Amino acid sequence: KNQVEQSPQSLIILEGKNCTLQCNYTVSPFSNLRWYKQDTGRGPVSLTIMTFSENTKSNGRYTATLDADTKQSSLHITASQLSDSASYICVVSLSTLGRLYFGRGTQLTVWP
């Protein structure tokens, strides 16, 4: 069964601190893995996208890693800001029509 599991479910950190979010998946055949940021009531916005041959991808203060052998990914956020408060969703794609499998997301809250 194709599944995407994320941890932790929620996380609270202080402004300026770093954090790491985890994603494990069983989707096969794997096409690519993306991390999205979703603000409440808004559509998801893509942060990073990686194929199975890529180990790491950065986008500003966001760095995603992928281990295709263990089927694990992480998203590291550096020097967190209040605007980072959102749900971070791990999404794994099958190649056919770009069918997506969503994790439940990690709700990140950054406190001043």
Partner 1 sequence: DTEVTQTPKHLVMGMTNKKSLKCEQHMGHRAMYWYKQKAKKPPELMFVYSYEKLSINESVPSRFSPECPNSSLLNLHLHALQPEDSALYLCASRPVGGSQETQYFGPGTRLLVL
Q: Which of 39, 60, 50 is nearest to 105 (CA)?
A: 39
Binding segment toward partner 1, per CB under 8 A, in 11-19, 22-30, 31-39, 77-85:
31-39
Of residues 6 and 63, the one with the C-beta less far from partner 1: 6
According to the binding rule CB under 8 A, does residue 49 interact with partner 1? yes
Q: Read off the DSSP letter of residue 105.
A: -
DSSP-assigned letters across all residues of 19-72 = EEEEEEE--SS--EEEEEEE-TTS--EEEEEEETT--EEEETTEEEEEETTTTE
Q: Which stretch binds partner 1 (CB under 8 A): 20-28, 63-71, 74-82, 100-108?
A: 100-108
Residue number with CB closer to partner 1 (13 or 49):
49
**Residue 98 in contact with partner 1, rule: CB under 8 A:** yes
Distance in Å, CB of 79 to partner 1, minimum: 25
Q: Which two tokens stand for residue 57?
A: 């991808």
Q: Contact between 108 and partner 1 (CB under 8 A)?
A: no
